[in-house]
Structure 1
Amino acid sequence: MEGFVSSAPETSTRYDKLLDRACEFIIANGNAVHEDLLIRHVFGSSGRPDLWRSLLRQILGEAPELGLRGDGYWTVSRSRADSDDTPGLIDGSYTVIDVETTGLKPLNHRVIEFGAVRYDGGKQTGTLSLLIQPERKVPQYVRKLTGIDDQLLTDAPLFGDVAQEILEFIEDTMLIGYNVGFDVSFLNAELDRIGHQTLLNQTIDLLPVAGALMPATRSRGLTTLAKELNVASTGAHRALDDALTTAGVLKGLIPWIRAAGITSLHQLDGFRSARREERDSSGPFARGRSLLDPEHVSSAPSTPGVYIMRGQKNRVLYIGKAKDLRARIRSYYSQPLGYTRKMDGLLQSIKAIETVETGSELAALLLEQQLIARYRPQFNRQMRTSDNYPYIRIDMSNPWPRVNMVKEAKDDSARYYGPYRSSRAARATVDALNDIFPLRSCSRSFKNSRSFGSPCTELDFGRCLGPCVGQADRDEYFSYLREIIAFLEGDVEPVMERLHAQLERTAERLDFEKATRVRNRIDRVTELSQSQEVLSLAVNQGDLVVVLPAVDPDCREIMLTRFGRTWSRRIFDQGEPSEEIAADLERSWERARELASMTILQRELDSVQILTRWVRKNWDHPSIMPVPDEPVDWSQVVEHARTVPLIE
C-alpha cells in the first residue's frame, strides 16, 4: 500500500498488541485518524511525532487492512471497521448555534441573523435560519463581512416576533458553538429586552476545547480549524453556514476527544474546567481563612454598604462595596492566597475590617468612590487618580485647529471633550483621528512667520494637508474637522467605518502586525466613545429625584441629581411633616439651578459615571422621577417618595 514500509515477518508477531491497539483506535474514531494522533495513542508519547513515525509505519505496514491516505490519515478496511459496535460520542441531543450581529457588545449591539442545526440521536434533524431586524443601520464592516445589509433586513421580523420559534427549536438541549459565549450573551441580551427569561441551557465552547486538544490551533479561527480538520466550509460568515461548519468541526475533533479519554458530551463540557483544576491542584493552597480573624465576618451586617480593610497603623489597604457585606467579606475566607496577582499580599496584611452601612447599593457605590478618592488605597486600582483623567482638545481659535490630548481643561476658546478615565483610550483615539484625517498634529501656532515653511515628514507621507506650506484647502480641512467633532459628540459610525476599512486593507495586504495595532486601536476608540456616551447622557438626561432605602428601615432617602451629579441627599422618616421635607428640597433645587454647571470636572467623573449607569439600568423604575421644567410641587414629590416601591 502507498506510504507503507515493508518489514520482516517476525515484526507482526512482536507488535501484535500495538497493531490491535492502533486498529481499535482508528475504528473507534470514525475510521480516520491523523498519523500524529495515532503515534500519541499507540506509543503514549507527547513528544515530537517524527521520532516515532518510522516505527509506526514499520508496525502498521504489515497489516493489509490498514492504509495511509495522502492527507496523513490512517484508515481501516471496511470489512474490519464494520465489525465494531463502539457507541458514538455525539449520539445525544444537542444544537449547534451561531449569530451574526451589528457589533461586539451585547448591551449596545443587536442580533441580525440566527442560525442553528439540531441533532437528535447523533442525526441531524433540522435547521433554523432567521434574519432579524435590529432597528438600526448595519455598519459597513458588518455588511462587507456578512453580506447582510439594511435592504436585506427591511422585511425581517423583530427578535420578539421569532423568540418563541428559536426557543422551541433549541428546547433544553446542550448548545454548542465556536466562541459560544458570544452567541449566548447576545441571545440573552435580546431575551432580556423583551422581558423573557434568559437561556439556562448547558453550553460547550469548541474554541477552548480545540485549543486544549490541538494546541497549535489555539489562536485560529473557525474557517482555519475547519480546513485543518478537512471539514467543508463556505467561509461566508452567515449564521447557518457557520453553525454547519461548527458541527463539522465537532465531528472532526472526535479522534482528539477520544484520545483524551472523553466518551460523552457531558464529559466534554467539563473537560476545560477539569484541565484547569488539574493544573491548579498541583500543590496545596492555603486559603484566606488561615489568616483572617473570624470576628471580621461575625460582626458584619447582611446589608448594603462599604467595607474598609485596614493594616498596620490603621492604614487603609482596600475599599470595596457589596449588596450584602457579610456575604462579601465571607468570600475572602475561601479565596486561595495568590488567587489574583493584583491582590497578592492583601489578606496577609489585614488587621481589621470596618463596615459602613448605606441602605442601598447606589449609596454604597458612591461612598466607595468617595473613600477611594480620599484614601487612595494600595490595593485599589481604579478611581484613585481622577486628577490625571485627560481631555481631548480642539483649539478653534487657531486658523488650522489640531486635535490633541491634554491633562486639564483651561478657560480659553478651545473645545474640550472628556474627561476620560482611560489615558490609553484617549491617546489611541487622538492617534486614530490624526491617522484617519490629514490634519496637522504639530504644535505650530500659525500666528507668526516662523509657523510657515520647513514642512515635517507628515506632509511627505500624505498624513497632513500642509497648511504650513500653503497647500491646505480650508474647506476640505474644516470638513474633516467637523467629522471629528461629530464623532466626539456622539456620531461615531463614520469614524468606526473608516477604522474597520483600514483594518480590512491591512489584512488584505497580509500586514498582520499592523492589523493587530489597528484592531487594538478600534477597541480603545470604542472604549472612549462609550465613555463619551455616558457623559452626554449624564448632561442631557435631565434633573432627577431618586428615592432610595435608608439604613434605618423606618426611613427613606431622597436624592436630587443635576447634570449627572448628586446635588443633595435628604433622609426622612414617615413621621416627619411633608412641609419641612418639601421646603428643604425646594431650597436645594433652587441652589442647584443657580450654581450647578454642565461641565464635568475630573474629580466628578467617577461619581457621574456610577450614577448615570445606575440610572440607565433602572430608568423605568417608579422610584426615579424626572424633575419637570415648570414649577414643581415638592409636597407632591414627598408624598410620592413616601409610598413608591424601592430598588433594594
Structure 2
Amino acid sequence: MDYSQFIDDTAFCILDVETTGMKPPHDRIIEIALIIIKNGKAVNKFETLLNPGVLIPPFITDMTGITNEAVYNAPVFSEAVDKILELIENTIIVGHNIAFDLRFLNSELQIAGYEKVKTPSVCTLKLAHRIHPELHKKSLGSLAAHLRIKQKSAHRAFDDTLVTAKVFLKFLGKIKEEYNLEYLRDLLNFQYTPVKKIVKKEIASASKNVLSFIPDLPGVYEFVNKSGKVIYIGKAKSLRERLADYYREYAPGKSKLIVHKASKIRLHSTNTELTALFLESEMIKEFDPWFNIMLKNYGNKYFLKVGRNHPYPDITLSNKFETDGNDYFGLFISRKKASEVLEVVNKSFMLRECTDKEFKKGKPCLLYDIERCTGPCFNNEFGVYDEELVKLYNFLKGANSDALSRLIGKMKKFSDQLLFEQASETKNLIEMIMKQVHKSSLLSEPVNKARALFEISGFPDNDYVILFNGKVYIRGFRETSNTEFLTILDDIFDKTFSPGLPDEQDFERLRTLLNWCVSNREKVTIHYFSSYPSKEKLIMKLRLSERIVSASEINLE
C-alpha cells in the first residue's frame, strides 16, 4: 500500500465483532460487520451472525441480545471468510479499540487455515485521546453522545460499526482541517503521537512566527507582561524546543496562562546548560516572578567536616564552612544525603565518633571493641590514625577500593559467624558505595580549599568557572566580565588573590556547579591551579572567546 497517498484516496474498512468472551481462541466470534468507506462515503458493507461452535454465555446474550438459537443456523467463520478477506483487501482497517477486534479476527483466520491480516489499522479510541483529551470517558457511546451521533443498539456489530464509521468521519474532518494532515502516513502516525506534541494548524502558524526568531541554544527566557513586569523565568537546553512546548495545543494550563498574559519574551542564550542554570537561579531571586514558585530562596546545604584542629580529627555534619583550619567535603543538597555518606564513613573507617569531652577520658569504648575505631583516646598511635584519614580522603575523592575491601571482609566475617543481621547491614553499606552516594568525588581537594578552573564543553564556545576556597566566579557572567575573569587569574598566579569568605550566592552557585558537573562528567575538565606554573601555561590549554551570554527580545503582540 502507498502510504504517501491522500487520505481522501484511501479505502477504510470499519470493523466490529461480537464474541463469546474476551480471550481467543477459547472465545469465538458470533457476529461480524464491515463497512467500506472511501472519500467520505460508504461504498460497501457486510454483516452476518456466525456459529461459534461453542455455547454463548448468558451474560453475553444479556449484553448483545444474541442467543444460541439465533446462531444455530448461521454460517461458521470458514464459510464467510472469503467475503471478509475480499472486503478487507487494500483497505486500512478501522475500529474502536481495534486491537480487540483484530485479535479475534486473526484467531478465527488461523483456525480456518488462513494467515493473519497484516494491513495497517487505525484505532478511533487512540484518535479520541488525541482529538478530545478533555473527555473523561472515551467509550464509543460517550463519543457518540458528545458528537451528537444517534446509536440504535449498542453491542451489535453493524450498529457499532455504523457509529464507529460516523465518529471516524468526524475525526477525519478535524484531522484535515485543524491539524493540517493530508496524507495516509500522517494519519497512521497521528494516533501514536504523544498528546503534548500535537499542534493544531492555527497554533502551529502562530508558534512558527515566534519560534523563527528563537535560537537552538541553551539559555534563559523571560515572559514579560504589558506593564513590563517579568512574570516567569525558565531555563532550557534548547530555547527553541522549550518555548515550542508553550504553543502546543495541549500544553499545561499554567503554560497557556503565561503565554496569554505575556506581551514579550526576552531571551538570554548561553554556551552551556550550566550557565543557563546559574542565570535562571539568580534572575528568579532578583525579579521574583509571580509564576515561579521554585528557586526563590537559597536552599539547604550540608558538608562533611573533618576536624583538623584536633590531633585526631572526627567527622561531623556542618551546614557551613569557614577558613578555620578544618576540611569540608560536599556540598550535599539535603541532610539525609549527607547523613547517608556520614554513615558509610563511620562504618567503613576506624575513626573516632566520640565528642572531645568523651575523648579526654582516655578510655576505650564499644566502637574500639567492635573494631570501628583505632582507640586514639588511650593508645596515641598517630601513624595508624593517619592511615585511616588517608583512606577517608581517598574515598571522599572518589576512590572506593579501601572502603569496599574492608566492608566485604566484614560481611564475610559476619556471615561465617552466622551474624546475618550485621552481614545484611554491611551489604546495604556496600550497595550505597556502589551507587556512589558521595558526590564530592568530583574534586580531589576539600571543597573549602579547592582552587581550580572548571572548563565546560559548550557551543559555540566553552564556559569557564573558577572555584577558589568556596568562592565561585563565572567568566562573562553578570559581575565577572571577561576582563575581570582574566584579572582574577592573574592575581591567583601572583598569589595576591584574597576573595574573602563565600556568601549565600556562592553556596548556591557551588551547589549548582557540583551537581551539574557530577551528572555531566563527560563535558567537564577540571584544571587545578597547582598543576600549572603560570597563567600563560593554563591559557594555552583553554579555548577562550568573547561570547558568553547573548540577549534578544521578541514581541508577542
Query: The TM-score by the shorter chain falls in which range?
Result: 0.3 to 0.5
The structure whose RCO (Cα within 8 Å, separation 6+) is larger is: 2
Q: Which of the two has higher C-alpha Rg?
A: 2
* TM-score normalised by length of structure 1: 0.40
* TM-score normalised by length of structure 2: 0.45
